[in-house]
Structure 1
Amino acid sequence: MSASPTSFFWYELMTTDMKAAEAFYTAVVGWRPETWGGSGTPSYTVMNAGERGVGGIMDIPDEVRQSGGQPAWLGYIYASDADAATAGVEKAGGAIHRPPTDIPGVGRFSVVADPQGVTFMLLQPDGPDQPPVPAGTPGHVGWHELYTTGWQKAFDFYSSQFGWTKADAMDMGEMGIYQLFAAGDEPIGGMMDKPEQIPVPFWQFYFNVPAIDAATERVKENGGQVLMGPMQVPGGSWIVQCLDPQGAAFALVAPGDASGSKMV
């Protein structure tokens, strides 16, 4: 188990059309794209909220395409020792898809999966840690949601590896329990058993936007698809769940006022 709680701190979209994805998220979320790397390295675009990077966009690697991989957002969990964290995942019943590998100038990473088969990455970054971003900062990730098979076992896994703790739990009736979790003082996400219409377990990430109605219209205007919402959730925030034009799932979250009306 991690000495102190650790969580996601970088996000990556693997897609079939980098330029189209860059344009879509720039328009919808307000990110500023910036090309990273040099000659001889695969194309990679860093998406910035202000002056700070939030995540990256890259082409789906050939080996992932050949195995049937589809466009998707993946998250990196911080590791102070990537090798030890990777070994811990395997020992706890997870899988290693790519062993720890160095990225010059970035850090040491691995590609792993939890016992239910949900892929995520571990990253031991080079250089000093960046300060935390205030909750709700536009363009950053405001919520992490795991759709899985057997959320109790999933929680036990992430708790044992990364120090996550249980927060409130909500009974959603036929949909089961929605368990909030924290990596420190405040909840950062929730997990639940996936509905039948979701084919495989996965992590969904919610990007902060100032107003949900305007953001939802931007999704539609730029070729995305709205799957659910906008809807208000406990605590007052508004969410919408979507697909981007290449088929990757993502979600948006915006604050709500005391009366429950959507912000404009």
Structure 2
Amino acid sequence: MADSDTGAFIWYELMTPDPDAAKVFYDAVIGWDVAPRDADRSDMDYRMIRRSDGGMAGGVLALSQQMQDGGARPAWYGYVHVADVDAAKQAFEEAGGAVHFDQTMEGVGRMALVTDAQGAPLYVMTPSPPAEDPDAKSDVFDYEKAEHFRWNDLQSDDPDGALALYSRIFGWQKTGAMPMGELGDYTFIGRHPGDMIGAVMKRLPLTPRSVWTHYIGVDDIDRAVRAVQEGAGRIDQGPDQIPGGEFSATGTDPQGVVFGIVGPRKGE
């Protein structure tokens, strides 16, 4: 993976107890085509998320009962590219966070699941680039495109501490802020001026813990909202207009996983 990917979200993974139901739901809402289970693999059920343009948007991991008994819970997780997984793990632990999982997969790379001091989880990863394309770049995140992830939103009990930690480890910068009254600032983050990865804000009262919410691009926000509701999901907030004229909403899928969607309103 190219050095320029350092600090970027390079992969997203849905952990769910029912990947078949997740396929039906997200294929309808987003326009993806989640691959069927690989019948040749008995060690785990991992499915690639295919976009309509032929690219990949991430993966779906089936949560076994054993994994859930060990503390894993259904959620979307983001992967951030780092040059040194050990150094990133140490930085999270020294800042009061924790390391929950560390694995090297041949042909994939080294990854670790970490939480910051407020308990918000994500993965740090040093990927192994394809032999035929050593300078490959991830395109799962794109600030403007449907079927890609478009935004990463952190609600934290300590936004300033979180910003300091992620800036130190990933090189992220504050790229602007939007005042939110008693909640303080909605602080935009990027890897350089003009870059837009997402934002950090104070945890909302109804959010049970500090957490990342990842927003997926859709072609039509109203169509996607209807698909959520028709697919036994729930819209928890929105659609709300955002700067630039598009709309965003947050919801919960049928397995209890929180997600975000963002896109235009085609009816207007």
Could you state the TM-score of these two structures normalised by the residue count of structure 2? 0.88
Structure 1 residue 16 displacement after superposition: 1.5
Give the count of matched residue pairs: 256
- Judge conservation of contact 1:44–1:58 (CA < 8 Å) in 2: yes
Higher mean Cα deviation, 125-134 or 106-115? 125-134
Task: Check conservation: 1:36, 1:46, Cα contact below 8 A.
Answer: no
Whether contact under 8 Å (2:10, 2:138) holds in the other structure is no
Alignment RMSD: 2.1
Q: Which runs of 5+ in 1 are unaligned?
A: 256-261
CA contact (8 A) 2:143 2:151 kept: no
- Contact 2:234/2:251 (CA < 8 Å) preserved in 1? yes
The structural deviation recorded for 1:194 is 0.8
> 1:182: how far off?
0.8
CA distance in 2, matches of 1:227, 1:123: 31
CA positional deviation for 1:157: 0.5
Q: Which residue of 1 aligns with 2:117?
A: 115
The aligned residue for residue 82 of structure 1 is 85
Q: Of the candidates 51, 54, 76, which is equivalent to residue 51 of structure 1?
A: 54
Q: Which moved more, 1:38-47 or 1:112-121?
A: 38-47
2:142–2:150: 8 Å Cα contact kept in structure 1? no
Aligned to 2:165: 157
- Among all aligned residue pairs of Structure 1 and Structure 2, give the percentage whose two residues are the same amino acid: 34
1:115-154 superposed matches below 5 A = 115-127=117-129, 128=134, 129-130=136-137, 132=139, 135-154=143-162
- Aligned mate of 2:69, from 66, 69, 80: 66
Cα distance, 1:94 vs structure 2: 2.0
Partner amino acid, structure 1, of 2:247: W
Query: Using the alignment, how far apart are the partners of 1:36 and 1:176 within structure 2?
Result: 44
Identify which range, 29-38 or 168-177, moves more after superposition: 29-38
Moved over 6 A (4+): none
Given the superposition, is the C-alpha separation of residues 55 and 4 from structure 1 closer, same or farther in structure 2, using an over 3 Å criterion? closer
Shift of 1:21: 0.5
Deviation at 1:201, TM superposition (A): 0.9
Worse-matched range after superposition: 133-142 or 12-21: 133-142
Contact 2:155 2:202 in 1 (8 A): yes
Equivalent in the alignment of 2:228:
219
* 5+ long unaligned stretches in structure 2: none
TM-score, scaled to structure 1 = 0.90
Q: CA deviation at 1:70?
A: 3.0
- Give the Cα–Cα distance (whole angstroms) in 2 for the partners of residues 197 and 135 of structure 1: 27
Q: How does 1:165-244 map to 2 (within 5 A)?
A: 165-184=173-192, 185-244=194-253
